[in-house]
Amino acid sequence: MAGLGHVVFYVQELQRSVRFYTEIVGLGLQGRIFNGRAALLSGGSTHHELLLIQVGAADGPLQGKRIGLYHVGWKVGDSLAQLKSVYARINALGYSVDALSDHTISQSIYLRDPDGNEVELYVDDPDVDWQHDKSWMESPVKPLILDC
């Protein structure tokens, strides 16, 4: 069964948004990625329930797509075998996949729902200890090969 894993927002001013989600919502800042242009926040149940990506500054033009929702990540299992099964089902049902990514801490399938909203289906890598080892934050996103 799938469970909501995280939400990703494009934001205009990263520090302002981090302050809101830490001071008001009560999330903890886990770290920064993408050369400091993104922040991972967590309530403690996973490595991040919220990812904020700065795509502009209050005093400058947007450098990304838009402000607002980027995608929603659904955890669809606990193993790469389960992700492969989901991938096979996506292909069998004729849906298009936008990307397959290995984030070191997780492996992901990206696709769009019927209205064009981006959806990430992922599994965490059980060998990565996200609570005690933050080195995964420095790892580049790699292509993921899912042979089914």
pLDDT digits (tens, 9 = 90+) for 65-99: 678 888 998 889 999 999 999 999 999 999 999 99
Entry pTM: 0.76
CATH assignment of 3-143, among 3.40.50.2300, 3.10.180.10, 1.10.340.30, 3.90.190.20 = 3.10.180.10
Q: For 98, phi and psi rounded to 5 degrees?
A: -80, -40
pLDDT digits (tens, 9 = 90+) for 112-142: 987 788 899 999 998 888 778 888 888 889 9
Domain range list for the chain: 3-143
Q: Are 64 and 23 in contact (CB under 8 A)?
A: no
**Residue 146: how many other CB atoms lie within 10 Å:** 17
Q: Are 8 and 54 in contact (CB under 8 A)?
A: no
Residues 30-57 as b/e (b if ≥16 CB within 10 A, e otherwise) read: bbebeeeebbbbbeeebbbbbbbbbbbe
Q: Are 82 and 123 in contact (CB under 8 A)?
A: yes
DSSP type of residue 91: H
Q: Are 13 and 54 in contact (CB under 8 A)?
A: yes
Say which residues have a Cβ less than 8 Å from residue 112's Cβ, sequence separation at least 6: 96, 98, 118, 119
pLDDT digits (tens, 9 = 90+) for 2-34: 788 899 999 988 999 999 899 987 899 999 999
Say which residues have a Cβ less than 8 Å from residue 72's Cβ, sequence separation at least 6: 4, 6, 7, 8, 117, 118, 119, 120
